[in-house]
Amino acid sequence: MTELAIDVQQLVKRFDKKLAVDHVDLQMPRGKVWGFLGPNGSGKTTTIRMICGLLEPSEGKGYCLGYDIQSEQAAIKLATGYMTQKFSFWEDLSIRENLEFVARLYHLKDAKNLVSKTLDSLGLASRQQQLAGTLSGGWKQRLALAAVTMHNPQLLLLDEPTAGVDPQARREFWDQIHLLASQGMTILVSTHYMDEAERCDHIVYLADGKIITQGTVQQIILESGLVTYRSNAENIRELAPLLRQQETVEHAAYFGAALHVSGPDKTALYNTIKRVAPDINWLEVETTLEDTFIALTKRAGLNKEHL
């Protein structure tokens, strides 16, 4: 058994002229929960698709669970579970029929029993005849997770699994993910949400097809070397664009009603904000993951504001 669940080198994917994934290296050990972060269109989905053999890389090579991603797709498909970005069921099949269909595709033994057990553990046993299309967002997500884990894969790839799901359902979903991880499953989750990123053992941050940074949350924040000030004052609405123009400021952005300003040099940053906005109260706070990503994205020469 190879040590690494995912081991890809210099992966490149081009669509016509567009470079969607730009020389990505990824070495992910088994048994961990890794987060895949990045703005929309940064290449997360494309990378995941190449890892599980759904897209042919334009350049580079790699292994998924020890299988070559370019020639052993069949073996990869059997050993991984991939929940696609818009995992959609066959909406005109019932909940049970969907699960049975998936179970049969994987040639699982005793499919009927397995599906019954899965339905029980999901708490959907009483609604098994309901059409999948009529489920609410949170339930759909849970059912999708059950569907891609029924064959007990070694590696689970989840592409934005909680997009559009309410916070309560998201928390429960993550509890489920950690439960699976504790049973030894390797899990790669792509997400938009910072709070979800903070629940991962390791984060890979992608922007414009390139890996900008990776590590644990603490590592990433620490390595960025950023200092952050926050203000909750009333009259800060027009300040951010002004602050962004300052040389010592790496990023200035609103977090709810508060304004965060970050920069690498504490004294220089403090002097700047005092000069630009002298009448306002500033408080030094711990740099958050989001501050770091905004700043790092800018450092990489990419002017993407939005995560």
Partner 1 sequence: MWAILVKEMIQMRRDRVTFAMILTIPIMQLIVFGYAINNDPKHLPTAVQIEDNSSISRTLLSALQNSEYFSFIETANGKTKSDDLIRQGKVSFILTIPAGFSERLIRGEHPQILLEADATDPVATANAIAKFQLIIEHALAQEFKGPLSYLASQESATEVIILPHYNPEGVTAFNIVPGLVGVILTMTMVMITSMAMTREVERGTMENLLAMPVRPYQVMIGKITPYILVGAVQTLIILIASHFLFAVPFIGSLWILSIGVGLFILANLALGFTFSTLAKTQMQAMQLTIFFFLPSILLSGFMFPFHGMPEWAQVIGEGLPLTHFLRIIRGVMLKDTDFNDLAPEFMAIAIFLVVVGTLAIKRYRQTLD
Ligand X SMILES: Nc1ncnc2c1ncn2[C@@H]1O[C@H](COP(=O)(O)OP(=O)(O)O)[C@@H](O)[C@H]1O
Residue 214 Cβ, how far from ligand X at the closest point, in Å? 15
Residue 101 Cβ, how far from ligand X at the closest point, in Å? 26
Q: Which does 255 bind (CB under 5 to 8 A by kind): partner 1, ligand X, Mg ion, none?
A: none
Q: Of 35 and 81, which has the nearer Cβ to partner 1? A: 81
Interface positions, 135-154, toward Mg ion (CB under 5 A): none
Strand 251-255 relative to strand 258-263: parallel, antiparallel, unpaired? antiparallel
| Residue from 7, 21, 45, 84 binding Mg ion (CB under 5 A) | 45
Residue 63 Cβ, how far from partner 1 at the closest point, in Å? 18
Q: Of 46 and 287, which has the nearer Cβ to ligand X? A: 46
d(CA 136, CA 138): 6
Q: Which amino acid is at 31?
A: G
Name the site residues for ligand X (rule: CB under 6 A): 15, 18, 20, 38, 40-46
Asked if 208 and 22 touch (Cβ cutoff 8 Å), the reply is yes
Residue 186 Cβ, how far from ligand X at the closest point, in Å? 20
d(CA 257, CA 194): 18
**Cβ atoms < 10 Å from Cβ of 127:** 16
CA–chain centroid gap for 216, Å, is: 14
- Burial of residue 58 (number of CB atoms within 10 Å: 0-12, 13-18, 19+): middle
d(CA 238, CA 223): 30
Q: Of 55 and 103, which has the nearer Cβ to Mg ion? A: 55
Q: Which does 87 bind (CB under 5 to 8 A by kind): ligand X, partner 1, Mg ion, none?
A: partner 1
| Structure-token pair, residue 184 | 């030894």
Q: Which does 140 bind (CB under 5 to 8 A by kind): partner 1, ligand X, Mg ion, none?
A: none
Q: Of 103 and 249, which has the nearer Cβ to partner 1? A: 103
* N- to C-terminal Cα separation, the chain: 37
Asked if 280 and 252 touch (Cβ cutoff 8 Å), the reply is no
Residue 78 Cβ, how far from partner 1 at the closest point, in Å? 5
Name the site residues for partner 1 (rule: CB under 8 A): 49, 52-56, 73-74, 77-78, 82, 84, 86-91, 102, 105-107
Q: Which does 73 bind (CB under 5 to 8 A by kind): Mg ion, ligand X, partner 1, none?
A: partner 1
Sign of CA dihedral 27, 80, 176, 41: positive
Residue 35 Cβ, how far from Mg ion at the closest point, in Å? 14
**Cβ atoms < 10 Å from Cβ of 188:** 28
List interacting residues with Mg ion (CB under 5 A).
44-45, 85
